Amino acid sequence: MKQSIIIHWFRQDLRLSDNPAFSLATKQALTSSQESTKKQKYLMPIYILDDINAGDYAMGNASRWWLYYSLISLRKALDNTLSIYHKDPTAVFDDVATRFDVCAVYWNRCYEPWRMIRDANIKEHLTKKGIDVQSYNGSLLWEPWTIKKDDGTPYRVFTPFYRKACLNAQAPREPLPTPRHAPYLNDKVGSIELAQLGLLPTIRWDKQLEPHWHIGEEGAHIRFQQFIDEGLGKYKEGRNFPAKPWVSRLSPHLRFGEISPNQLWYVVNGLADNEHGDHFSSELGWREFSYNLLYHNHDLPKKNLQSKFDRFPWSDDVHLLSAWQKGQTGIPMVDAGMRELWQTGYMHGRARMIAGSFLVKNLGLHWHHGERWFWDTLVDADLANNSASWQWIAGCGADAAPYFRIFNPVMQGHKFDAEGSYVRKFIPEIASLPNKYLFCPWEAPDHVLHDTNIVLGSSYPLPIVDLKQSRNAALLAFQSLKQ
């Protein structure tokens, strides 16, 4: 006789606390065990790596590395009962149904277009088989379809989206506690070993990432507490300084659902009513805005929201792109950000804006190149945030930075890394330069370069473009769109 099971499908919610679908699946399983008139139902927690339906949006290498260790943490929290699969989810459910009596399937919703299409098809397929399917919101403060303008159209500007609509909408759901352990059941026949997912690279470049992160639900809450203790009190302005510990670094934990935005929202808003908490909450609002854009514009990762940019005369110089990717542009603030990315899987937000502006405006390369590189190398690579942010910096998106707003990486360095700590950390070959020339070594007199043993073009690259000339060229290219 088949054992009766309730499946919770873990996806982008790799946590036990404040997990709506997991909590309700657990409740159903516990209820059956407490009522003698009912047949015992076991809770089967599963994870499916779906590289088949993902297409171009299969996880990048840095995300796969993070996922490996996040699943280790989740599996431990579930008493090593997590069943793991690597194939099409519909085939997984059909296969499991041959060995078990599947009563219900629970999951928390995902909002990437390909996942929504897939999930709708799976829900229809399982419902026709008589299997109850329940889905919930476990990753956003507000469902994308609930935040619209008065005329029913979606917002394209962030401030009214957040200040007018979100803050006046129904309050976000309050966080749920971690549920009691249910009678878990593992699929001993169909499940594979975690190592069989092939998440770790064969050449172990990922080893340099490990010291920078405590991956998993426990690590997420430890990191959140550190931010409250060290960063939140200086967040509004402090978040702009890459060398300071005044940012949350919670983005990868949010991306994999090791902590929920609801947990962050209620803790921060419950601590103090000040500009720092308000600004952090607005950053959660930007995440909501990005998901809202993606929900209403399924081609956001590939298509300019402002169609006039379809005519933009982008360059296609692979050598410039390679120098940018390697942090070898000769522009220290750009290179420091790109090297931070390579060494840690993360880049400070201010550095992301500087590096992004340089790519699309000084190098004249399409924002698609940046979007794809970040998708592969960021541990917090998130389709909505990544796409919306690249369109913002390129000037072609919703509520975008005006195209003529071109970050000057030298001025940005002097303003936001005045002591040079960030640049010296990631570009040690120019660390001996005085601050005056640290962000523009090409301007250093010969005697300064000689005294510091720096040979531009050898120990550190000469700039691959002239900042002033490339800025002017970008502005001319932008003017051409008006003609």
Q: What is the pLDDT of residues 61-120, one digit of tens each?
A: 999 999 999 999 999 999 999 999 999 999 999 999 999 999 999 999 999 999 999 999
**Which long-range contacts (C-beta less than 8 Å, at least 24 apart) are formed by 168-174?**
169/142, 170/142, 170/146, 172/141, 172/142, 172/261, 172/262, 172/265, 172/266, 173/20, 173/137, 173/262, 174/262, 174/266
Q: How far apart are CA 14 and CA 22, in angstroms?
A: 10
| Residue 36, pLDDT score | 56
DSSP state of 307: G
d(CA 91, CA 97) in angstroms, rounded, equals 10
Residues 280 and 264: their CA atoms lie apart, in Å, by: 9
CA distances to 100, 185, 385, 400, 477 from 471, in Å? 63, 60, 26, 18, 10
- Report d(CA 202, CA 204) in Å as an integer: 6
**Rounded Cα–Cα distance for residues 363 and 347 (Å):** 20
Largest CA distance in the chain: 89
Quick one: tokens of 420? 């040079």
Q: With H, G, I as helix, E, B as strand and everything else as coil, classify residue 367.
A: helix
DSSP assigned state of 452: T
3 state DSSP class of 279:
helix
Task: Tell which residue, 257, 199, 187, has the closest CA to residue 49.
Answer: 199
In whole angstroms, give the CA distance from residue 14 to residue 9: 10
Residue 100: both structure tokens together: 């078990």
How large is the angle between the packed helices 349-357 and 367-377, nearest 10 degrees?
140
Within the chain, which residues score under 70 in pLDDT? Answer: 33-38, 400-401, 483
Structural tokens at position 184: 């878990």
Q: Facing residues of 4 across strands?
A: 41, 101
> In terms of DSSP bridges, do strands 132-136 and 41-48 run parallel, antiparallel, or are they unpaired?
unpaired
Q: Give buried/exposed letters for 388-420 (b at 16+ CB in 10 A, else e).
A: bbbbbbbbbbbbbbebeebbbbbebbbebbeeb
CA 393 to chain CA centroid, nearest Å:
16
Residues 21 and 19: their CA atoms lie apart, in Å, by 6
Instruction: Note the pLDDT of residue 33.
Output: 67
DSSP 358: I
| pLDDT given for residue 10 in this prediction | 98
d(CA 191, CA 198): 15
SS3 content of the chain, % helix, strand, coil (to 5): 55, 5, 40
